[in-house]
């Protein structure tokens, strides 16, 4: 019922040269069933308790975070994970409104903290704040680099690792780790031939990240922010 956090990828078996080509698909972030269940506290469409933990049996919940962290800490979380210029205003409003216990309460606090003119575009103003809190609660950006490295190391020869990211911070990490694997960690100047002995672990299946097509978005609006990248293990 509770999807594992990224770090158990370290427990994957090492690659087997005799194994058939094996694909790996990682769909980062929260799942649609989690968003749709109000009791999990990931979204504000269905009012529920502030939780947001991938595993609700361990760690700090979103309620702990919004009711205990300082304005400075909340500002950093909202700025880094939500990429919003209103981070400081939202953090101050959260602290002033404590205690906060439900997703509906928090969504209204965030909405009220943002100037009226800024609320008219870009969807519900609380969306980015909820994303930022979820990322912080589950320590997603800190865990992801090592998880991607372990996923690449576990690929069978010619196996592919495909990653769907929904946040620019996630996508940036995936891009960095894929590029590192393409060079094998080469430290030589880009303008010179490699002399450090590094060997490529993967090749990119395509350059850059792919976005959902218009047809896909008609079927699934939640794919709007998705960015897909793929690499293939060298044989």
Map residue 212 onto helix, strand or coil: coil
> Are residues 98 and 90 in contact, defined by beta-carbon separation less than 8 angstroms?
no
The overall average pLDDT reported for the chain is 87
Residues forming CATH 1.10.150.170 domain(s) in the chain = 32-137
Give 235's pLDDT tier (boundaries 50, 70, 90).
Answer: confident
What is the model's pLDDT at position 91? Answer: 98
Tens digits of residue pLDDT in 63-79: 999 999 999 999 999 99
CA atoms of 127 and 123, how far apart (whole Å): 8
What is the model's pLDDT at position 18? Answer: 46
Tens digits of residue pLDDT in 175-222: 999 999 999 989 899 888 888 889 999 999 999 999 999 999 999 988
pTM summary value? 0.82
Query: Both ends of the chain: CA-CA distance in Å?
Result: 36
Tens digits of residue pLDDT in 79-109: 998 878 899 999 999 999 999 999 999 999 9
Flag the least confident range among 38-47, 62-71, 108-117: 38-47
Above 70 in pLDDT, residue 41? no
What is the model's pLDDT at position 54? Answer: 86
Residues forming CATH 3.40.50.150 domain(s) in the chain = 7-30+140-233
Within 10 Å of residue 5's Cβ, how many Cβ atoms? 18
CA 159 to chain centre: 23
> Are residues 221 and 227 in contact, defined by beta-carbon separation less than 8 angstroms?
no
- % of residues, the chain, pLDDT over 70: 85
What is the model's pLDDT at position 111? Answer: 94
In CATH terms, the fold of domain 7-30+140-233 is Rossmann fold (3.40.50)
Above 50 in pLDDT, residue 1? no
In CATH terms, the fold of domain 32-137 is DNA polymerase; domain 1 (1.10.150)
């Amino acid at each position: 019922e509770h999807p594992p956090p990224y770090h158990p990828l370290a427990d994957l078996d090492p690659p087997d040269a005799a194994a058939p080509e094996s694909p790996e698909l990682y769909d980062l972030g929260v799942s649609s069933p989690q968003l749709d269940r109000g009791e999990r506290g990931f979204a504000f469409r269905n009012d529920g308790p502030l939780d947001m933990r991938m595993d609700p049996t361990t760690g700090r919940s979103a309620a702990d975070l919004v009711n205990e962290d300082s304005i400075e800490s909340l500002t950093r979380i909202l700025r880094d994970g939500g990429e919003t210029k209103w981070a400081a205003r939202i953090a101050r409003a959260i602290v002033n409104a404590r205690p906060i216990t439900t997703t509906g309460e928090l969504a209204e606090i965030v909405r009220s903290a943002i100037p009226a003119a800024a609320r008219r575009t870009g969807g519900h103003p609380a969306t980015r704040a909820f994303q930022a809190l979820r990322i912080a609660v589950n320590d997603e950006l800190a865990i992801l680099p090592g998880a991607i490295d372990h996923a690449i190391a576990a690929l069978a020869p010619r196996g592919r690792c495909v990653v769907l990211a929904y946040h620019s911070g996630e996508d940036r990490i995936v891009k960095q780790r894929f590029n590192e694997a393409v060079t094998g960690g080469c430290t030589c100047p880009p303008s010179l031939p490699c002399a450090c002995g590094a060997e490529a672990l993967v090749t990119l299946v395509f350059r850059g990240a792919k976005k959902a097509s218009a047809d896909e978005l008609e079927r699934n609006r939640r794919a709007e922010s998705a960015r897909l990248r793929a690499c293939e293990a060298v044989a």
